[in-house]
Amino acid sequence: MTRVRGLLLGVLLVAWCLPATGESTDNRFGIGLRAGTYGIGGDFGVRIIDRVGIRASVQRLSVSVDEEEIDEIVYDGDLDIGGEGLLVDVYPMRGKFRLTAGVFNNRNEVGLEGIVTENIEIGDTTYTPDDVGTLTGSVEFDDTAPYFGIGWGNVASGKGRIGLLVDLGILMQDVGQVGLESSTGFVDPDDLAQEIAEIEDDISDFDFWPVLSVGMSIRF
């Protein structure tokens, strides 16, 4: 968390040193409505100086993922994505292009449920469906996740009341931590540990969550 605060302070310091030659406008704050790969939600933005703004952002979405095979076991999943964040926008040139850095209270999480219908090998042991019952678990990522990206549009400042918002970036949420258990309790813990390691290997690419969103701003 200290590293994240340092990055945000660095962005603010650089922005403060920029010459105040951006668009002149009386707008000071505004709201944004957006939808994308990190959920559906909105922003509240405030202009600090001509080239710097701060946004509070809230985005959430829940989706179901059916029949995803991992290590020969078919899982259904409930995916909750989104979070609450504080973002600093810097406009290095005239216009709407911006650089964004910030941090999110990350709520990305996956609920897993696997139903075994035939004999299956878990770890080093072969189990029957009656032995396994239902495998249930979850995948959780870091609660605090830095965000870095680029974008187009200004929630708090512009020539008109309505504007376009586009964001493209990455959320650094680290590798997901998996929990897994059998409903019968008959699966050996060492075998479950191997299954957990297999799932964590399969989801290792999601330590960086891609963020792409579009929306509109309303300025006041």
Tell me the mean pLDDT in the region 178-196: 92
Residues 6+ apart with CB under 8 A from 131: 184, 186, 187
Distance CA 214, CA 16 (A): 27
Q: How confident is the model at residue 78 (pLDDT cuts 50, 70, 90)?
A: very high
Contact 112, 180 (CB under 8 A): yes
Query: Which of the four pLDDT bands, split at 50, 70 and 90, describes residue 26?
Result: low
State in Å, rounded, how far the first CA of the chain is from the last one: 33
Structural domain includes residue 190 = yes
For residue 19, pLDDT beyond 80:
no
8 falls within a domain: yes
Question: How many Cα neighbours within 13 Å face the side chain of 117?
Answer: 2
Residue 28 has pLDDT above 50, yes or no: yes
Residue 91 is assigned to a structural domain of this protein: yes
Asked, for residue 165, whether it belongs to a domain, the answer is yes
- Find the domain containing 189 and state its range: 2-16+27-219
Whether 206 maps to a domain, the answer reads yes
Q: How many domains does the chain have?
A: 1
User: In the chain, which ranges are continuous DSSP H helix?
Assistant: 2-17, 129-132, 189-202
21 part of a folded domain: no
- pLDDT on residue 18: 44
Asked if the structure places residue 22 within a domain, the reply is no
CATH number at residue 44: 2.40.160.170
- Cβ(76)–Cβ(65) under 8 Å? yes
pLDDT at 178 over 50: yes
- Band of pLDDT at residue 23, cut at 50, 70 and 90: very low
Answer whether residue 113 is part of any domain: yes
